Amino acid sequence: MKIAEAAAKSGLSADTIRYYERIGLLANVGRSSDGHRAFTGHDLRWLRMFERLRSTGMPLAQVKRYAQLAREGQHSMEERRILLEEHRKRLDVQQVQLDDCRTLIDEKIENYLRLESSAF
Amino acid sequence: MKIAEAAAKSGLSADTIRYYERIGLLANVGRSSDGHRAFTGHDLRWLRMFERLRSTGMPLAQVKRYAQLAREGQHSMEERRILLEEHRKRLDVQQVQLDDCRTLIDEKIENYLRLESSAF
DNA sequence: ATATTGACCTTGAGTAGGTCCATGTCATTA
DNA sequence: TAATGACATGGACCTACTCAAGGTCAATAT
């Protein structure tokens, strides 16, 4: 598939996908005869994984390391697991931030609604 | 209180707090006789609000707009509420991303654990 | 009394992670 | 055959910090 489709299906922008290729995150992307990138299903699965990790704040350097390790094969499994466990902790932190912010914001919104509708 | 304390209590770094002042997000910060910033309880409440909004991805420009509106007084309530409601939607998106990523990651971690401990 | 901390100050450069834009190529459609 | 639209590249620009260099000042240690 071409970059527009890969973008639509991964949730990343075409620019971001090109950028990921440039920095070596996504390696060995094929090209069709006219020079356009040709993404495989395998590429797309990686792009989706990247999108999930990045949208939840894993640093690009670590995403890159993870992809690198996966390319190296089996022996890197432990290190990959450790990277994911580290990220798992970030998710917990974010959940707390999200809940805190939701509480604050819902309270404020409700307050504004009360004040806006009041007759004073 | 001084900047170190404001940083500790708000969850922002001292550098970030100075930056927020520079860009006009936090206005009218007092100074003690030796030129050091002197934050009030009011400043701290704003800093905490900024931290919550930023850590959940509200763009600085909008945080700034919100603070600006609040300074302008009552008549801006509706616009402030709208800004918060917009951010409320972002929180929902993030919750989905978080859940998706957690599912993926927990699955992978478990898989790695199985493979690492298997005898093959 | 003086010297050394340590926390603060300012200014300006550097960083992460994209995003946008100008310009160019190519296959397809009018 | 011309124009359209999706792609390509290279490089500038952007957001939101973050860090480093060099300086001031109050408080502590000698």
Q: What's the average model confidence in pLDDT over B9-21? A: 98
Check whether A118 has a pLDDT greater than 80.
Answer: no
* pLDDT tens per residue across span A22-59: 999 999 999 999 999 999 999 999 999 999 999 999 99
| A116/B57 Cα distance (integer angstroms) | 27
Q: Give the phi and the psi of residue A12 in degrees, each rounded to 5.
A: -100, 160
pLDDT tens digits for range B68-79: 999 999 999 999
Q: Which of A52, A81, A102 lies nearest to residue B101, judging by beta carbons?
A: A52
Which parts of B1-76 fold into alpha helices (H)?
A: 3-10, 14-22, 41-55, 60-72
Walk me through the domains of chain A, giving residue ranges and CATH numbers.
1-55 (1.10.1660.10), 59-120 (no CATH)
The answer to whether the beta carbons of residues A102 and A92 sit under 8 Å apart is: no
Q: For the whole model, what pTM was predicted?
A: 0.94
Q: Tell me whether residue B30 is exposed, middle or buried, using C-beta atoms within 10 angstroms of its C-beta: 0 to 12, 13 to 18, 19 or more.
A: exposed
CB contact under 8 A, A52 and B100: yes
pLDDT digits over B80-105, tens only? 999 999 999 999 999 999 999 999 99
B6 Cβ contact partners less than 8 Å away, ≥ 6 residues apart: B12, B14, B17, B37, B39, B43, B44, B47
Q: What is the pLDDT of residue B120?
A: 66
* A-chain residues near B104 (CB < 8 A): 49, 52
pLDDT, position B119: 62
The verdict on a CB contact (< 8 Å) between A104 and B49 is yes
**Token digits for B85?**
């409601």
The torsion angles phi and psi of B26, rounded to 5 degrees, stand at -110, 110
- How many other CB atoms sit within 10 Å of the CB of residue B37? 18
If you search the block for the tokens 């100074």, which residue do you land on? Answer: B31
Contact, A29 vs A39, CB < 8 A?
yes
